[in-house]
Each structure stands twice: as C-alpha cells, then as structure tokens.
Amino acid sequence: MYIRTEKDFISLISSFAVGKKGIGEGLVIRKQSGNKSGGVYFKGIYRNKSAEQREIHIGTYGKGIGELTLKQAREKWEEIKCWSRVQGKEPCDFTKERKQILLSQKTFNDAVEKYLEVKKAKIKPTTFKEYQMKLNNQIMPLIGGTTELKELEWANGGRRLVMDAVMQISSGDKHDLAHRCQNLMRQVFNFSISRGWMSDGRNPAGKMTGDDSPVASTKHHPAIGWEEVPALLREIQLNRCNSHIQSVLATKLMLMTFLRAGSLTRLEWGWFETDFPSTITIPGSTSGLKRRQGINDDIPHQVPITPEMGQVFDTLREFSGGSKYVFQPMRSSRFPHLDPSAPNNFLKSLGYEGKLRAHGWRRVALTTGIDVLKFDRDVIRRQMGHLPEGKVNRAYDGSLRMDERKDFMNQWSQLLIEAGLKV
C-alpha cells in the first residue's frame, strides 16, 4: 500500500492502535501504545548482503523539532538508499558515518563557546568572566580553537596534548593557575562527551592517581598575630605611602567587618536599614560572599553596625555624592565602585606584602575572637558570612544568632580602638 497524502497517512495511523504498517517503497510505520505523542515512528526496510531483512530507524512522526512529516521521512529514506547505492554500503552505515562527520566537524572552540553559553545562566557574572578569561586567554592559545575534538580524544593522543598545555601553564610555579585550568578543561570535555561530540568516553583532562597533574597550593593567605596589630594600625593611620582616602577607609572597615574585599567594595547605601542604620543586609548574590548561584545565594549576610563603624560610614557618605555605592572608584576604573584590589594594594604599599592579605585578616579575627574575646567559634564564623557546617545543619539550622553577633562586633570594634585604630 502506497500512502500518497498526509491526510491519508493520518487516517491510516488512526485506524490501528499498535503494530507495523507499510506505506510504500520500503518505508513502514511502527506504532507503540502508551505514548502521549502517539508513538509513531518511520522505519526503513532493506535486505543486507546476506539477503536477510533488516530495519533502520528513520525518525519520529510529528511537526515538532527533530520530528518528521510523511514527506520529510520519504525524502530522508531516499537519501539513505541513494547513499547506500553510491557508497556500496548498507543503509545502517549511513547514521554511523554521519555521526563521525558530525564529530569531526566539532572543534575545541565550539565546545568552549557552547559550554560558556550554558554556564552563563548558572554561575555568577564574576565566575563566568573568570572562566571566560582562563579558557580564551590561557587555554585556547595552547590547545588551538580550530583543533577538532576528535583529535583531543584520549585514543587519538589528546591526553598528551592536554597535559602538555597544563604543564606549560604551570611553568614558573603557576601551579594554582594550572590546577584551575585543568579542572576547567575537564568540565568542557565532560560537557562535550555528554553532548556526544567526543565518542571515546574518557576525559583527556581527567586526573589520575599518581599522575603529574598540578596540585592547588595549600598555603593559607598570609596573616599576622594579634601582637603585630598595633604596628599595622599605626602604619594605616600614618599612610606614609599617601594612598587614596577611599582605600584607607575601605581597609579600616575591612578590619572592623572582616568582609571579603569583593563584597566590602560593593556595599550599597540601599542595603542599610532605613529607620535606624544598625545593620547592613548584603544580598546573597553579591560577589565575595561565596554563595552558590541557585543553591544558597538567596541567603543574605547581615553585618551589625557598631558606633565606630558608623563614624567611618558617615565620612564615606560625604564622598558618595549621591552614588548608590558606599565606596567610589578612583580615577578611571573598570568598576562602578572601588576596585576590590584596593585594600590589598594599600597593605602592599604599607610594606605588608607577603605578611598580610585582606583575606588573611579573617584568620586574625577568628583566632583573636576565640582566644582573646572568648566568643564561640560558630558565632564568629556566622559573622564571617559562613553558613552552618554540614548538609544537615544547612538544611535545618536557620538561626542567625544576631544578639551574640552584635555583642561580638561591638567588643571587636572596641578591641581595635584600644589597639590603636583611629576612626
């Protein structure tokens, strides 16, 4: 039976519930029950070289994306039969060969672009920019954007190419950078494997026990002891390097709040309580809080404002000029607010390079808060912006411990004043 029109075809598939029907020229339809879309599939029937009857899948009937109408199914089946005659191969080889052609056409640049496109909606803008820069500036020149993914498969020597690139990035003691780049390549290749663009199945950037993949540094950010704090506060106040007032004030607030520089420099006046400015509520999506997008970035971080902090904020308000940001950019800047590197640059200018970093100050605060002020470790960690430890605690513990945190922040500010901090 040869079905000529789409109308006749629709009438045919409506006439039976399940089974197989021929529609002419070796094309048949199979209908499965229990499928919302009707479960109608086009199949091609042919005989192999041993005269045995074989069946290949042509496509699913429908008008949606990836589906075929009756006309499209006939055109595809004719294309397969024509290809089979010309190539002297069986129709079942058509799909395999087309898949290999598709795989050979995909390049490393294609994989990177698609990976970044998917990731952009799932990660923070700052993280996305970091991924983009590493892939395009560090990795792409070494791997080659036009390199076909097939060439990067493990079986085709891709492991050697990838690890050569990793080792080149690692040269000059850049082990942390190389470690991050290898992890990023591993994600790109996992993405490519999941899309069917790499058929080997083994990730050429994967890490193996005993291999020479670079390891991330376990060195902590440099920090000083509490006995060294008075000298630091004296140098900050003298400002002999003549750093900008915004950097000085940001560093003072960093000492009092121990916020990460990324979230500190992004503070907005709109995050202060309106009736009585006793607390800053920083949205969880703010860079520097280290919340994970879509997982816990809905949880804000609250910072109680002490009288000493209030004095610094009063000075900063005079500089803001109506800007929504607490800290203003210095000269021309790529940021609409103070550059997050400003506190660290100020510390370097004071002679503390290798001795203290802004992030290392958090270690000073936690250690001193426990040893000197005798506060519970969990209270201090909450004030540092850490969420409860462990999956169970994060799931069930919604406590804020704000009264204890306010008490800690007041005592911490007073301790800094006693040590020589000028506000």
- Residue 315, pLDDT score: 94
Q: How confident is the model at residue 21 (pLDDT cuts 50, 70, 90)?
A: confident
- Please classify residue 118 by burial: count the beta carbons closer than 10 Å to its beta carbon, then call 0-12 exposed, 13-18 middle and 19+ buried: exposed
pLDDT digits (tens, 9 = 90+) for 257-316: 999 999 999 999 999 986 555 899 999 999 888 888 888 888 999 999 999 999 999 999
The share of the chain scoring above pLDDT 70, in percent, equals 95
Alpha-carbon gap, residue 279 to 266, rounded angstroms:
16
pLDDT at 172: 79
Residue range 102-106: mean pLDDT, rounded: 66
**Which residues are 57's β-sheet partners?**
43
**50-103: per-residue pLDDT in tens?**
889 999 999 888 887 778 888 999 999 999 999 888 888 888 888 777 766 655
| pLDDT recorded at residue 49 | 86
pLDDT confidence of residue 274: 63
**Any idea what DSSP says for residue 151?**
G
Q: Where are the alpha helices (DSSP H) in 258-390?
A: 261-264, 307-320, 342-349, 360-371, 377-383
CA proximity to 269, closest of 329, 314, 210: 314
31 - beta bridge partners? 19, 40
Phi, psi (5° rounding) for residue 60?
A: -95, 140
pLDDT greater at residue 344 or residue 125: 344
Domains of the chain, residue spans: 6-91, 106-194, 226-419
Per-residue model confidence as pLDDT tens digits over 372-407: 999 999 999 999 999 988 888 878 888 889 999 999
Q: How far apart are CA 25 and CA 74, in angstroms?
A: 9
Q: What is the arithmetic mean of pLDDT over 339-354?
A: 95
| CA gap 382, 403 in Å, rounded | 12
Edge to edge, what strands does the sheet with 19-22 contain? Answer: 19-22, 27-31, 40-47, 53-60
CA of residue 417 relative to chain centroid, distance: 40
Predicted confidence at residue 196, as pLDDT, reads 84
Q: Closest Cα to residue 360, out of 176, 217, 219, 224?
A: 224
Average pLDDT over residues 225-237: 96
Q: CA distances (Å), 36 to each of 7, 19, 32, 43, 62, in order? A: 20, 16, 10, 20, 12
Across residues 26-44, what is the average pLDDT? Answer: 78
Nearest to 232 by CA among 363, 346, 368, 310: 346
Helix axes 245-257, 307-320, angle to 10 degrees: 150
pLDDT above 90: residue 321: no
What is the structure's pLDDT at 208? Answer: 87
**173 pLDDT higher than 90:** no
Q: Which range is least confidently modeled, 3-12, 115-124, 166-175?
A: 3-12
* Full DSSP string of 223-289: ---GGGHHHHHHHHHH-TT---HHHHHHHHHHHHH---HHHHTT-BGGGB-SSS--EEEE-TTSTTS
Question: Which residues on neighbouring strands pair with residue 47, listed in sequence order?
Answer: 53
Report the mean per-residue pLDDT for the chain: 89
Paired residues of 27 in beta bridges: 44
For residue 248, report the phi and psi dihedrals to the nearest 5 degrees.
-65, -50
Residue-wise DSSP of 340-360: TTHHHHHHHHTT-TTT--TTH
pLDDT > 90 fraction of the chain, expressed in percent and rounded: 58
pLDDT the model gives residue 218:
61
CB 334 within 8 A of CB 236: no
CA angle 304/305/309 to nearest 5° reads 145
Q: 32-41, 46-55, 89-98, 342-351 — which is least confidently predicted?
A: 32-41
Evaluate if residue 104 carries a pLDDT over 70.
Answer: no
Q: pLDDT grade, residue 127 (50/70/90)?
A: confident
CATH 3.30.160.160 fits 226-419, yes or no: no
Whether pLDDT at 368 is above 70: yes
Residues 416, 423: Cα–Cα separation, whole Å: 10
- Nearest Cα to 189, choosing from 175, 207, 179, 201? 201
CB-count burial class (<10 Å; 0-12, 13-18, 19+) for 362: buried
DSSP three-state, residue 32: coil
Q: How confident is the model at residue 11 (pLDDT cuts 50, 70, 90)?
A: confident
Residue with tokens 């500036």: 137
Tokens of 260: 């990460």
Where does the pLDDT of residue 180 fall: very low under 50, low under 70, confident under 90, or very high at 90 and above?
A: very high
Tell me the pLDDT band of 34, cut-offs 50, 70 and 90.
low
Helix (H, G, I), strand (E, B) or coil at 22: strand
Gyration radius of the chain over CA positions: 32
pLDDT score for 99: 65
pLDDT in tens, 142-152: 999 999 898 99
CB-based contacts of 90-98 (< 8 A; 24+ apart in sequence): 90/46, 90/48, 90/49, 90/54, 91/44, 91/46, 91/54, 91/56, 92/54, 92/56, 94/56, 95/56, 95/57
Q: What is the DSSP letter of 136?
A: I
What pLDDT does residue 19 have?
Answer: 83
Beta-bridge mates of residue 40: 31
Predicted local confidence at residue 93, as pLDDT: 86
Structure tokens at 265: 């420099």
pLDDT recorded at residue 1: 67
Rounded to an integer, the average pLDDT of 113-137 is 91
Tell me, what's the pLDDT at 147?
Answer: 92
